[in-house]
Structure 1
């Protein structure tokens, strides 16, 4: 077992891809990344020290179809899609032992292997085969032979969407079952955040492939006006205000103070000096963007034992200086630790293209900032969003496609009859939880939430310091899945018995 190592380049990628505009005249198109990893919390690597990449992992490549839904000649182009398996716990095909399949999301599979612990921690309870599948256009699963060609324009990016991705997963899972002669091994798909949405949608679209799904922190209701656009930032504000009223008030007042100083002669230079920026600020929005990123990251990944929101507020409230911006900078230092510079380190914009394309095509999550938060108001404007996306890619987004293809409106009315065997797990301190399923839909589509949990916390590795409520949440998930499997095996035995009797 080896501890995971995260490169500076990966940290920079996470910082940038989470970036959101707190106050800007340009429409926000970098929707906060839907990632089970801790985003900029990765700057505090001790939080991940318990995760480990198993030595039992074996890497494979599947010759994947480029386009599952058309029959033009170019649709038959293929690419190599990466998947990884761990046979160490598997009870084997003869016993129809189960398969736990992790559905990769918007990032290289390598990072999920290091950070996602639920499969490895629970494989022994199920005697399960573990499978991890990389999402097309990420990591090493790149069509058109190179990333440059794949991301060339909207024509090559047009094959980059969630429907193609879950069709990929279906092909690979069925390929694995055929190859291992594990026809009757039940499959549970697991995913976090965007991957959690994929897991729930996979169960709905491919019930013949997956027996059930664990969808962690999956905001499937944050589309098409189902969830209020300002819900995300309302939860961020609530998280901070519950920790410290004075911290909340300081942050709320800081934006106008930044604007005030920026408007003065040499104001940007003053701000650059006060916040020890890595490069001179060219606009006050650059500073506000980075501070906003820090606050939303702290809230979204507000995990024990450190609780980043508490860390930030501890720095702000504990500052010996009286002026507002000195207090804010003390919060930055508390969060990021002692560094030579802060705020705007060099980044590689090419790394953001995948998630930006997804949000500019189908994953239109309308996040805006309302009036009653600790941020400056910045409502979501679809027209401006569309203009910005067209400027990048030459095609407009489809804001209603997700609900048209997967559903979402009146979800309880529809899925209580139509769907089954999905766990929607959430932590209510996660800003994305407001777009999640927080109430049971039926006897087998269940919501498992914790008041103090954060983004995808339940599928991260178990730690000795885990609080009891987190341990209990994971046990509930395992119990539910065991119940699904017990019913499946009973049905399988009954069918096989009837078949045997018919033959004799």
Structure 2
């Protein structure tokens, strides 16, 4: 995601990032869609039928700092947003606005894959809006990514509170421009964007009527969710698919270490796994495999079942090769045949990669680690002390691991949501590793959990497909029904309020 940055300074920062002890720094990637989806699922690519006329691009002159009155706070940047007017019923009918919150990447990429808005806008007569997150895509303060990320002062405006304040400003601007003051807004987001959507509903209930937060791990902060929850579900996904595959992967880590200790061990591993560059340490291979397995589990789409593909290849190779040969066959099955395999594939220094690294080092700190018990991964518990030291060495600032729970709600979040929150859907697929940090049970009649046993990360908000399983169709229909209820209640209240205002005042006695 994002363009590869050419500057020497950025490459220096990247190499510094990957040179630190990544074991304590490994926070699995969020994101609403799998970055290699285009390559792996031609059906998805062919379904991207948006024409240039459907989405129109606009830029809003956004304030740099919403929470300060220093002179530099009034600096501005151009924030990109995209609007589809095709289905909108207009302001006079109080037709709703569906607003998708961009997250850690360019918003035009989200617009291709996130089909929930486009698929359902016709029955709501809804306006569709996609808003880009500051510091990503084309919504870059200070003129360029290099300048925006140059030092702690310029990076300091890069956080979730500023981002949702941006969204508030853009949405109010749209309503004013279209004279749509009575059009209710439903905010939608997935993954980190899902967290933003739910937080927006809490912080700006006067702007958003409701929120659909897909695969939003809002409980994965400050020790609320178990640290090993993410990797426990990855392991569970593989183990339920194939016990023998699970056992092979579990044994492979020590086998990699055993071979690496040989005099020419790293060269042997490089040849066996056809790495594009010779391995400098066995960790590079293990980190690549870790990312591959988590990627397969997190985006285990029912149309392709990547976990089944990996395990099928591993198991099929059992009689013709050793453990490492089996693991390599799993890589080939998942990544397809290539001349070589880039061990740094999941760590390329794109703008999105470096931006998200900053966010996970400053504010979005999810303590995710491995535990030994019942895991197919080697032990690697999350170490907050080491994590803080690494982030300080990278950026010169201390992480704030408690800020998210301080600002949005802490260990008693479920009680807090029960007491004052409303109109939020938390949707999760239980095969998604990040569901371990999600809201999986309804908290009240209006803060509702919608889950599916076989679902994966953000699947419900992706484009509808002809071969979608019935459980996925049912999940989406449930979400649509809930949103219809919110809007119907809103319109009833609007009518009642309008009648009350127009009613003549009773004469005084």
TM-score band, normalised by shorter chain: over 0.9
Give RMSD over aligned pairs.
1.9
- What does residue 349 of structure 1 align with? 349
2:446 to 434, 444, 447: 444
For 1:336 and 1:155, locate their aligned partners in 2 and report how far apart those are by CA, in whole Å.
40
**C-alpha contact 1:220 1:408 (8 A) present in aligned 2:** no
For 1:129 and 1:146, locate their aligned partners in 2 and report how far apart those are by CA, in whole Å.
31
**SS at structure 1 position matched to 2:24:** coil
- What does residue 100 of structure 1 align with? 98
- What does residue 10 of structure 2 align with? none
Residues 434, 486 of structure 1: CA spacing in aligned structure 2 closer, same or farther, 3 A cutoff?
same
Q: TM-score, normalised by structure 2?
A: 0.93
Aligned residues: 489
Provide, for residues 65-101 of structure 1, a one-character-per-residue CA deviation record: whole Å limited to 9, x for no partner.
0000000000000000000000000000001100000
For 1:244 and 1:363, locate their aligned partners in 2 and report how far apart those are by CA, in whole Å.
34
Q: What is the deviation of 1:423?
A: 0.1
For 2:331 and 2:2, locate their aligned partners in 1 and report how far apart those are by CA, in whole Å.
21
> Counterparts of 1:233-248 in structure 2 under 5 Å?
233-248=231-246
**C-alpha contact 1:246 1:317 (8 A) present in aligned 2:** yes
2:396 to 394, 399, 409: 394
For 1:219 and 1:317, locate their aligned partners in 2 and report how far apart those are by CA, in whole Å.
33
> Counterparts of 1:275-290 in structure 2 under 5 Å?
275-290=273-288
**C-alpha contact 1:90 1:129 (8 A) present in aligned 2:** yes
2:168 to 145, 170, 186: 170
- What does residue 378 of structure 1 align with? 380
Structure 1's unaligned 5+ residue stretches are: 1-5, 11-16
Provide, for residues 143-173 of structure 1, a one-character-per-residue CA deviation record: whole Å limited to 9, x for no partner.
0011110010111000000000000000000
For 2:51 and 2:447, locate their aligned partners in 1 and report how far apart those are by CA, in whole Å.
32
1:363 has 2:354 as partner: no
- What does residue 76 of structure 1 align with? 74
Residues 43, 370 of structure 1: CA spacing in aligned structure 2 closer, same or farther, 3 A cutoff?
farther
- What does residue 188 of structure 2 align with? 190
For 2:99 and 2:309, locate their aligned partners in 1 and report how far apart those are by CA, in whole Å.
35
**SS at structure 2 position matched to 1:132:** strand
Q: TM-score, normalised by structure 1?
A: 0.94
- What does residue 148 of structure 1 align with? 146
2:467 to 465, 468, 472: 465
For 1:291 and 1:230, locate their aligned partners in 2 and report how far apart those are by CA, in whole Å.
18
1:136 has 2:134 as partner: yes
Larger displacement relative to structure 2 (320-329 or 352-361): 320-329
For 1:333 and 1:8, locate their aligned partners in 2 and report how far apart those are by CA, in whole Å.
26
**C-alpha contact 1:194 1:218 (8 A) present in aligned 2:** yes
**C-alpha contact 1:287 1:343 (8 A) present in aligned 2:** no
Provide, for residues 258-316 of structure 1, a one-character-per-residue CA deviation record: whole Å limited to 9, x for no partner.
00000001100000110111111111000001111110000000011111000000110
Structure 2's unaligned 5+ residue stretches are: 6-13
Q: What is the deviation of 1:8?
A: 9.8
